[in-house]
Structure 1
Amino acid sequence: MAGHIGVTAIPAHARACLTTLATLQQPVVLVTLVSRVGSTPQDVGAKMLVDASGRLEGTVGGGRIEERAIAEAKTWLATAQGDATTPPCLLREWNLQRDIGMTCGGVVTLLFEAFNVAPWRVVLFGAGHVAQSLVRSLLLLDCHVVCVDSRAEWLQKLPATPQLSTVQLDDLRLYVPHVRAQDAVICMTMGHATDQPILQALYAQDLTPAYLGVIGSDAKRKALEKGLRALGVSEPWLAQLRCPVGLPIGGNQPGEIAISVAAELVALRHAVAAE
């Protein structure tokens, strides 16, 4: 009699999790029970989806083990959103009696996998010619791009993709409260008069982004620094401002500037000193 390999059917709730996962766009963690020893409340293959608000679907055992898994997933998801060094998956082995406080003495191993997580976010103020090229360059990378502008017609020229968020605001400073310390922020508005209020708002919020740049020349930088100093912006904060932005590769066309800026962001993200 020919031998055969036994295949365990995927539980219905696990199939439902995978089906739902394929439709989601928000950051989410898929938790899978990959190993069990002794008495445990679920079989290997059990799955659960967790987002920032908690459990979306599925189960890995209910009760305390599920509560612990949800907390682990939410904490890890929050970390992954802001740290490019966070791995895309992790394993956790728990003794249910010792680590979870359950009466059964089994041991489970859970696999946590992050999906739709872009640990690197780039916020662009301005959707003009250089920003149009820069957005398209950045969309080739593992990042999420936010482009903020007051002009709907320029925002509408950008590609429609879940990797890009467009925000139309008459006053671009209103987006500043949404900027995170781990973001890369670049001002590419119509000029000095519209860049400076954004920088002032960032400083007023006591926010120093991971990267803060303004498109322009050395002369523009001096003008910005003079204006910001007059408004009380500190020297240490001004010292981290990059203007001009991008690596000095030459070229003055929008596409060339975009490539130089994208290259600088990649270099800094990977902690490579840009010469």
Structure 2
Amino acid sequence: MTDLLKTLTGWLSQGMPVAVATIVTNEGSTPRTAGAKLLARPDGTMAGTVGGGLVEAQVLQAAARTLESGASELLDFNLTGELAAGADMICGGRLRVFLERVLPGPEAALFDRLEALLSGGRACLLATPLDGGRRALLTLHGEQAPSGLPPDVEQGLREAARDIQAPMIHEAADGVRRLLEPFIPRPLLVVAGGGHVSLPTSRIAAMVGFRVAVLDDRPEFANPERFPWAALARAVPMERCLDGLDIGPDASVAIVTRGHVHDALVLSLALRTSAGYVGMIGSRRKRDAVYDKLRKEGFTETDLARVRCPIGLDIGAQTPEEIAVSIVAELIQSRAVRQGLPL
């Protein structure tokens, strides 16, 4: 959704209204699940998908109506018979799609703020009245900015949104039915080291949904020009490289610095966080030397057992690009385990 959000704010900045289609619920076998989105402009340009086939064709027809009238719409699809065949489905299911129009100007400012909050690692809730009206944006953790909603309504929305992972329809205390959409920031990946392995690792990781921060003590190796896909790329003394970063259980740390001394230093910092994944590049001989140093600093075997070293899945990788694939594959695997997904 992060990429689609960038597309949406970009289109709105060009002064064009945008129709946004969101799958609200799905049951049975459907081509896409709740939360999938499609964007459509008046000139026919589109981005994203709600599954293709006849469902998407009908959604696009409805999007044209929404762009013209401004009226929001809920569409129900029973994917049997002709619709199932058009969606290339073996068995049928049901889905509901919410269509709305977003205009440039004040409405666009809300989505700009949403994008900025997500880029900063803040989880948000977007509440959109189904029958028209002003959207509200709530931050879910940390400092809470005013939403413009009555306190009892806002509290009710926060309680309804607790632990939801996909959109839901909720009727609040004021009697208004709203689409509640949780926007969870990409999990943070800290890449310590800006060298030849860091380049492809950070790039592939960004492609598969990580919010990447690249850190090195050499400005020529850690800067936005070298890592344009990174949310953060900065030069900082390695003993302070994790300062100011919110490294919690959903975060990952990949240590690919240029030498044993830096690796040991960053690993000692990473093991003081609650990062869900900590990996360090290097041979087993190097690992043993670093571990011995950390044991003398007071780290336990339980601490060291958290570390994936040698980093990455064992796929026989040799080149920096192949090593990057193995690292990111392990990052994806670790992320899936933390999210409780079947492997």
Alignment TM class, shorter chain as reference: 0.7 to 0.9
CA distance in 1, matches of 2:165, 2:177: 17
Instruction: Judge conservation of contact 1:32–1:48 (CA < 8 Å) in 2.
Output: yes
Say what the alpha-carbon RMSD is for the aligned residues.
Answer: 3.4
Written as runs of structure 1 = structure 2, the 5 A alignment for 1:236-247 is: 236-247=302-313
CA distance in 2, matches of 1:56, 1:160: 33
1:124-157 Cα offsets, whole Å, 9 max, x none, are 1111110011011112112201111111111235
Task: Report the 3-state secondary structure (helix = DSSP H, G, I; strand = E; otherwise coil) of the residue aligned with 1:224.
Answer: helix
Written as runs of structure 1 = structure 2, the 5 A alignment for 1:153-164 is: 153-156=220-223, 157-161=225-229, 164=231
Instruction: Judge conservation of contact 1:48–1:56 (CA < 8 Å) in 2.
Output: no
Aligned to 1:218: 284
Instruction: Judge conservation of contact 2:194–2:216 (CA < 8 Å) in 1.
Output: yes
Aligned to 1:260: 326
CA distance in 2, matches of 1:15, 1:68: 29
**Relative to 1, partners in 2 of residues 1:7 and 1:159: Cα closer, same or farther, differing over 3 Å?**
same
CA distance in 2, matches of 1:241, 1:21: 41
State percent identity of aligned pairs.
Answer: 26
Written as runs of structure 1 = structure 2, the 5 A alignment for 1:1-275 is: 7=69, 16=105, 18-23=107-112, 24-27=115-118, 28-34=124-130, 44-51=132-139, 53-55=143-145, 59=148, 61-69=149-157, 71-72=158-159, 87-94=165-172, 96=173, 107-115=175-183, 117-156=184-223, 157-161=225-229, 164-176=231-243, 178=245, 179-203=247-271, 205=272, 207-271=273-337
Post-superposition offset of 1:160: 2.1
Task: Report the 3-state secondary structure (helix = DSSP H, G, I; strand = E; otherwise coil) of the residue aligned with 2:109.
Answer: helix
Instruction: Judge conservation of contact 1:150–1:172 (CA < 8 Å) in 2.
Output: no
Query: Matched residue pairs, number?
Result: 237
CA distance in 2, matches of 1:8, 1:148: 46
Instruction: Judge conservation of contact 1:122–1:145 (CA < 8 Å) in 2.
Output: yes
**Relative to 1, partners in 2 of residues 1:126 and 1:212: Cα closer, same or farther, differing over 3 Å?**
same
Task: Report the 3-state secondary structure (helix = DSSP H, G, I; strand = E; otherwise coil) of the residue aligned with 1:26.
Answer: helix
Between 1 and 2, higher relative CO (CA 8 Å, sep ≥ 6) is seen in 1
**Relative to 1, partners in 2 of residues 1:53 and 1:247: Cα closer, same or farther, differing over 3 Å?**
same
Task: Report the 3-state secondary structure (helix = DSSP H, G, I; strand = E; otherwise coil) of the residue aligned with 2:328.
Answer: helix
The gaps in structure 1 that reach 5 residues or longer are: 36-43, 80-85, 97-105
Instruction: Judge conservation of contact 2:128–2:179 (CA < 8 Å) in 1.
Output: yes
- What letter matches 1:126 in structure 2? G
Task: Report the 3-state secondary structure (helix = DSSP H, G, I; strand = E; otherwise coil) of the residue aligned with 1:220.
Answer: helix
Post-superposition offset of 1:88: 4.3
* TM-score after normalising by structure 2: 0.59
CA distance in 2, matches of 1:26, 1:199: 29
The gaps in structure 2 that reach 5 residues or longer are: 1-64, 73-101, 119-123
1:103-129 Cα offsets, whole Å, 9 max, x none, are xxx5333222244x4342211111111
Aligned to 2:95: none
CA distance in 1, matches of 2:274, 2:235: 23
Post-superposition offset of 1:192: 1.2
